[in-house]
């Protein structure tokens, strides 16, 4: 029988299923500490309460062990060696059952709950909730922060709440039960001994309340500095190709060192106060057994305490003395975690800036009519973006969009995808305001290929399947062939020896050329087969021969779809049904390629500049 079989036979695997590790949260994360922690733990309450009860029993067992020790010593002294075991046989049997069966069973149960049922489930439960909330943020949230810093905060907060919960049950509740039962036990010996314990506890609590807020503050500062280091390092590594191309290794090294210096300073501030705390704690912990045992010895000299009570009080106070060190270090860790949670909350809990409307419905597959009704959006600034756009694109129409950099082309598409909400006006698809449908369902109806293609560090197959996760292998290969990607994919090999469609592409597809990344992105869009297709410089990274082949594939894929194609190379959109020219966020011209050339306006100037002064055969014929 294997170890895993043995584990299953004793039923330990059932413990692992007592908490659903990926249950969704109810509502947004609160922005106050206690409510935020309760939000993160919701769904695990019943098991946590049960574990707290077991921890209380576990604490009682510690003091009961000391009580039994004292009782056994007094019994031995009272009866002498003759006939001790024969007259008190069941006392020793009871002690044996307690020490070998009952106490280990309770301690083992607590350990199993902590190590199997609680610890491994709480972390993914909290992390999955934070990750889902973060994924729901608008793109501006990610534009304004380091990716590495956001990820660090998610990991930091989930780990901190897990540690606080486990330590709270395993340490604080256990210690509280032990202290309360110790006070009861010492009171039974003599009220003066119990009084010493209560005075010591009061001093200990004052000691804790003085140091812990200071530890918490310094921990939060240290956590923030640590996240800044992570964000800086990840940002540098993510852009390592640019660092190498511009020979800025020294510059990036100094930027990282700057963040590390700040972290070191915060870590030293935390280290100074934690070292002082630990030293004074050891001194305080030594006072308890000294005073309690000393008092018990005095009472013994005047005949008011027994030898067994001396042993018992010594055992109890030494245990509590040791426990206070353990509890205090745990408290220091918990307060450190609270600081980390508060620091992480500032990053992770802001409300979603872009939300689905109340009562928003899923968008059914549209015919593809798109209407921009007096749309304006300037990113909250006084200028930039688009202004007063009135445009209707008929179902199945192929629309080209041109303009200088900053004219508003990408902004127009971003608003269509509802990556931003329009500041004025509305965008409608088949007559339905896109704000009245869910964001996910809207974006499922639009396939997009951008100039800056997004690749995951996954296999070539997985990157193409992102367009339609349920697609078959045959459909994946067909899409790759349409995008002229199949042949080069077959020649891929990663560092693990995986080849072809099973080869990993590296982070952001760094193992591919720009043209290869765009062809995989095109394959992904082809596979998605959405009724609306957006091409933002989709063929800009391709050489002329491959682009010509891709254009043929695009022509076939565009059939029956509404297409918006942004391009700087006007030759790629010259065959579109209509071309819109943007300038400074406004539509200044629109028409077919021939009509715009005949008009002699901005489009004609663009065309002449790109064709080296030769306007084209269209004008020559006119």
Three-state SS string across 534-559, please? EEECCCCCCCHHHHHHHHHHHHHHCC
What average pLDDT does the segment 307-324 reach?
74
Cβ atoms of 67 and 98 within 8 Å: the answer is no
The whole-number pLDDT of residue 375 equals 94
The whole-number pLDDT of residue 501 equals 93
* Cα distances (Å, whole numbers) of residue 132 to 29, 124, 135, 512: 11, 12, 5, 30
User: Between 306 and 90, where is the model more confident?
Assistant: 306
In three-state secondary structure terms, 588 is strand
Is pLDDT at 189 greater than 50 in this prediction? Answer: yes
Alpha-carbon dihedral of residues 50, 51, 55, 61, nearest 10 degrees?
70
Q: Which structure tokens are listed for 18?
A: 């007592």
Q: How confident is the model at residue 496 (pLDDT cuts 50, 70, 90)?
A: confident
DSSP state for residue 116 in the 8-state scheme: I
- How far apart are alpha carbons 219 and 221 in whole angstroms? 5
Q: How confident is the model at residue 432 (pLDDT cuts 50, 70, 90)?
A: very high
- How far apart are alpha carbons 327 and 7 in whole angstroms? 32
The whole-number pLDDT of residue 367 equals 93
* Ranges 75-89, 93-107, 130-144, 303-317, most confident: 130-144
Q: How many CB atoms lie within 10 A of CB 81?
A: 7
- The residues with which 580 forms a beta bridge, in sequence order, are 401, 590
The whole-number pLDDT of residue 353 equals 85
pLDDT digits over 502-544, tens only?
Answer: 998 876 555 777 778 888 888 998 899 899 999 887 666 566 6
Is pLDDT at 157 greater than 90 in this prediction? Answer: yes
DSSP for 353-400 reads SS-PPTT-BPPPPP---EEEEEEEE-TTSSSSSEEEEEEEE-TT-EEE
The whole-number pLDDT of residue 160 equals 92
The whole-number pLDDT of residue 337 equals 84
Which range has the worst mean pLDDT, 145-149, 152-156, 371-375, 462-466? 145-149
Which range has the worst mean pLDDT, 80-84, 130-134, 563-567? 80-84
Q: Which structure tokens are listed for 202?
A: 């009061």
- How far apart are alpha carbons 579 and 603 in whole angstroms? 9
* Ranges 47-61, 182-196, 207-221, most confident: 47-61
Is pLDDT at 616 greater than 70 in this prediction? Answer: no
The whole-number pLDDT of residue 227 equals 77
Residue with token string 């049997």: 93
Is pLDDT at 615 greater than 50 in this prediction? Answer: no
Which range has the worst mean pLDDT, 79-88, 154-163, 233-242, 500-509? 79-88
Is pLDDT at 485 greater than 80 in this prediction? Answer: yes
Q: How confident is the model at residue 618 (pLDDT cuts 50, 70, 90)?
A: very low
* Cα distances (Å, whole numbers) of residue 119 to 18, 34, 370: 12, 20, 51
The whole-number pLDDT of residue 620 equals 33
User: Between 161 and 108, where is the model more confident?
Assistant: 161
- How far apart are alpha carbons 165 and 486 in whole angstroms? 51
Q: How confident is the model at residue 111 (pLDDT cuts 50, 70, 90)?
A: confident
Backbone dihedral angles phi then psi of residue 106, each to the nearest 5 degrees: -70, -45
Non-local (6+) Cβ contacts of 209 within 8 A are: none
In three-state secondary structure terms, 145 is coil
Q: How confident is the model at residue 180 (pLDDT cuts 50, 70, 90)?
A: confident
What average pLDDT does the segment 151-160 reach?
90
Helical H segments across 80-146, by residue range: 84-87, 89-97, 103-112, 119-135, 139-143
Cβ atoms of 305 and 73 within 8 Å: the answer is no
- The residues with which 532 forms a beta bridge, in sequence order, are 446, 562
- How far apart are alpha carbons 359 and 448 in whole angstroms? 27
Domains annotated for the chain, with CATH where assigned, are 15-348 (1.20.1560.10), 446-529 (3.40.50.300)
442 burial via Cβ count (<10 Å: 0-12, 13-18, 19+): buried
| List of E strands, 307-369 | none
* Cα distances (Å, whole numbers) of residue 26 to 42, 136, 217: 8, 14, 30
Is pLDDT at 574 greater than 60 in this prediction? Answer: yes
Q: How confident is the model at residue 619 (pLDDT cuts 50, 70, 90)?
A: very low
Order of strands, sheet of 386-393, starting from the edge strand that comes earlier in the sequence: 386-393, 370-377, 424-429, 432-433
- How far apart are alpha carbons 516 and 518 in whole angstroms? 5
Q: Which structure tokens are listed for 479?
A: 């899409």
Reference 360, options 437, 474, 266; nearest CA is 437
Q: Tell me the percentage of the chain whose pLDDT exceeds 70.
A: 88
What average pLDDT does the segment 588-608 reach?
92
DSSP state for residue 137 in the 8-state scheme: S
80 burial via Cβ count (<10 Å: 0-12, 13-18, 19+): exposed
The whole-number pLDDT of residue 587 equals 94
Q: Which structure tokens are listed for 397?
A: 């129409």
User: Between 234 and 386, where is the model more confident?
Assistant: 386
- How far apart are alpha carbons 371 and 399 in whole angstroms? 13
Max CA separation in the chain (angstroms)? 130
What average pLDDT does the segment 420-440 reach?
93
* Cα distances (Å, whole numbers) of residue 467 to 416, 444, 458, 461: 19, 9, 14, 11
DSSP state for residue 459 in the 8-state scheme: B
pLDDT digits over 84-95, tens only?
Answer: 666 666 677 877
Is pLDDT at 477 greater than 90 in this prediction? Answer: yes
pTM: 0.71
pLDDT digits over 26-79, tens only?
Answer: 889 998 999 999 999 999 999 999 998 988 888 788 777 777 766 667 666 666
The whole-number pLDDT of residue 519 equals 84
């Amino acid at each position: 029988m294997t170890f895993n079989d043995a584990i299953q036979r004793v039923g330990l695997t059932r413990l692992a299923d007592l908490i659903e590790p990926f249950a969704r949260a109810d509502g947004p994360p609160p922005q106050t500490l206690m409510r935020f922690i309760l939000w993160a733990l919701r769904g695990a309450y019943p098991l946590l309460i049960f574990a707290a009860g077991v921890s209380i029993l576990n604490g009682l067992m510690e003091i009961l062990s000391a009580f039994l020790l004292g009782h056994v010593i007094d019994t031995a002294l009272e009866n002498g060696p003759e006939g001790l075991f024969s007259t008190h046989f069941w006392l020793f049997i009871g002690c044996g059952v307690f020490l070998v069966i009952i106490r280990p069973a309770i301690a083992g149960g607590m350990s199993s709950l902590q190590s199997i049922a609680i610890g491994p489930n709480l972390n993914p439960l909290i992390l999955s909730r934070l990750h889902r909330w973060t994924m729901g943020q608008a793109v501006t949230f990610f534009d304004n922060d380091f990716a590495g810093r956001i990820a660090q905060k998610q990991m930091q907060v989930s780990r901190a709440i897990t540690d606080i919960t486990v330590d709270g049950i395993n340490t604080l509740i256990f210690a509280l039960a032990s202290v309360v039962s110790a006070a009861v036990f010492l009171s039974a010996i003599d009220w003066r001994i119990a009084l010493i314990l209560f005075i010591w506890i009061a001093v200990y609590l004052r000691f804790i309340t003085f140091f812990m807020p200071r530890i918490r503050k310094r921990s939060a500062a240290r956590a923030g500095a640590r996240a800044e280091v992570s964000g800086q390092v990840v940002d540098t590594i993510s852009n390592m190709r640019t660092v190498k191309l511009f020979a800025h290794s020294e510059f990036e090294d100094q930027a990282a060192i700057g963040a590390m210096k700040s972290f070191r300073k915060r870590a030293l501030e935390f280290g100074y106060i934690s070292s002082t705390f630990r030293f004074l704690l050891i001194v305080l912990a030594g006072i308890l057994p000294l005073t309690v045992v000393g008092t018990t010895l005095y009472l013994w000299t005047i005949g008011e305490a027994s030898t067994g009570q001396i042993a018992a009080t010594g055992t109890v106070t030494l245990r509590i003395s040791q426990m206070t060190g353990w509890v205090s270090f745990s408290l220091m860790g918990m307060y450190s975690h609270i600081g980390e949670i508060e620091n992480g909350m500032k990053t992770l809990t802001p409300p979603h800036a872009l939300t689905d409307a109340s009562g928003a419905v899923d968008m059914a597959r549209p015919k593809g009519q798109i209407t921009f009704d007096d749309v304006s959006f300037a990113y909250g600034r006084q200028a930039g973006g688009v202004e007063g756009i009135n445009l209707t694109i008929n179902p199945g129409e192929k629309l080209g969009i041109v303009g200088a950099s900053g004219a508003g082309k990408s902004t127009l598409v971003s608003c269509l995808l509802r990556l931003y909400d329009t500041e004025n006006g509305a965008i409608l698809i088949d007559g339905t305001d896109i704000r009245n449908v869910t964001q996910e369902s809207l974006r499922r109806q639009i396939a997009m290929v951008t100039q800056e293609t997004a690749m995951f560090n996954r296999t070539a197959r997985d990157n193409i399947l992102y367009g339609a996760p349920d697609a078959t292998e045959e459909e994946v290969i067909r899409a790759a062939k349409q995008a002229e990607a199949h042949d080069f994919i077959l020649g891929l090999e990663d560092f693990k020896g995986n080849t072809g469609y099973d080869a990993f592409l590296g982070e952001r597809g760094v193992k591919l050329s720009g043209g290869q990344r765009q062809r995989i992105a095109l394959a992904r869009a082809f596979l998605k087969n959405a009724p609306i297709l957006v091409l933002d410089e989709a063929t800009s990274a391709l050489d002329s021969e491959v682009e010509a082949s891709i254009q043929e594939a695009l022509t076939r894929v565009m059939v029956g779809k509404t297409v918006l194609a942004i391009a700087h190379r006007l030759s790629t959109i010259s065959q579109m049904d209509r071309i819109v020219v943007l300038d400074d966020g406004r539509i200044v011209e629109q028409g077919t390629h021939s009509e715009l050339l005949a008009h002699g306006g901005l489009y004609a100037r663009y065309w002449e500049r790109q064709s080296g002064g030769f306007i084209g055969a269209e004008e020559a014929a006119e």
